[in-house]
């Protein structure tokens, strides 16, 4: 039996990248998993691939939705409960940012978009999940933060600000629901070359005065291991946090960055 046998998980942004790797890890450990994304086509493909690779069957389900919309965030959590009868694990994974610029040149729209994509999505899904977890007296909430949630970098303040906000939300929420059997943590990866990174990395690098290749190399050289992490590195930490073994970990901002963050 796996570490998560009999549990139900919801993973936003679960059709690719870190979310997909984590959804697969949850399935391998015995959980039933709802994956979310904006594209029904990509969702159907992800479900089919996971079924083929792991014989997941009806333990994997897709719910389409835009995490920048509160109603969609609430719908994916409530839809998880409708499909599988409960929700034990929330991985608020979706996120990103576009419209990078120095603060002096930033638009309101770029900042608002980043906050909706990262912070507000995490808040909306967390609040919706707690409505189910508090009555059942158990649950695991995992938020996607970043090494940028612990440091500052020029040119990408919209992302840095949103991830710092997530970290604060995680710490406060953990204090509130800890006595109720619910843990709340954030994972803080370093740079991982996902599809989102490939799409949004080049403009972010330009805002920092770098090429995309220079940006990736800078991330690697800032780490102790001198390379980028992989999506599987994050997925395995999420399995720990979602498991019974992770029950003593809450309010933590867990670095998965090869030794980049200062704390």
Catalytic positions, written as ranges: 159
Rounded Cα gap, residues 215 and 209, in angstroms: 9
On whether the CB atoms of residues 47 and 20 are closer than 8 A, the answer is no
Long-range CB contacts (< 8 A, 24+ apart) of 150-155?
150/188, 150/253, 150/255, 150/261, 150/262, 150/263, 151/261, 151/262, 153/208, 154/102, 154/207, 154/208, 155/100, 155/101, 155/102, 155/204, 155/207, 155/208, 155/209
On whether the CB atoms of residues 123 and 116 are closer than 8 A, the answer is no
Rounded Cα gap, residues 157 and 148, in angstroms: 9
- Could you tell me which residues come within 8 angstroms of residue 209 by beta carbon, excluding any fewer than 6 positions away? 155
């Amino acid at each position: 039996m796996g570490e998560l046998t009999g549990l139900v998980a919801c993973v936003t942004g679960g059709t690719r990248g870190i979310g997909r790797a984590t959804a697969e890890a949850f399935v391998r450990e015995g959980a039933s998993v709802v994956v979310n994304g904006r594209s029904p086509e990509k969702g159907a493909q992800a479900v089919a691939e996971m079924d083929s690779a792991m014989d997941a069957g009806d333990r994997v389900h897709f719910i389409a939705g835009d995490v920048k919309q509160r109603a969609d965030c609430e719908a994916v959590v409530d839809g998880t409960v409708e499909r599988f009868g409960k929700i034990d694990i929330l991985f608020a994974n979706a996120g990103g940012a576009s419209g990078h610029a120095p603060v002096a040149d930033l638009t309101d729209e770029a900042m608002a978009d980043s906050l909706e994509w990262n912070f507000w999505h995490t808040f909306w899904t967390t609040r919706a999940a707690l409505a189910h977890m508090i009555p059942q007296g158990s649950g695991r909430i995992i938020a996607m933060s970043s090494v940028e949630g612990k440091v500052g970098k020029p040119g990408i303040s919209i992302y840095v600000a949103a991830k710092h906000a997530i970290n604060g939300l995680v710490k406060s929420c953990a204090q509130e629901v800890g006595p109720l059997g619910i843990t709340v943590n954030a994972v803080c990866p370093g740079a991982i070359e996902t599809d989102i990174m490939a799409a949004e990395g080049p403009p972010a690098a330009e805002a920092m005065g770098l090429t995309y290749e220079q940006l990736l190399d800078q991330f690697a050289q800032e780490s102790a291991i001198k390379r980028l992490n992989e999506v599987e590195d994050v997925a395995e930490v999420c399995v720990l946090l979602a498991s019974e073994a992770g029950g003593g970990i809450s309010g933590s901002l867990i670095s998965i960055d090869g030794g980049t963050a200062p704390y």
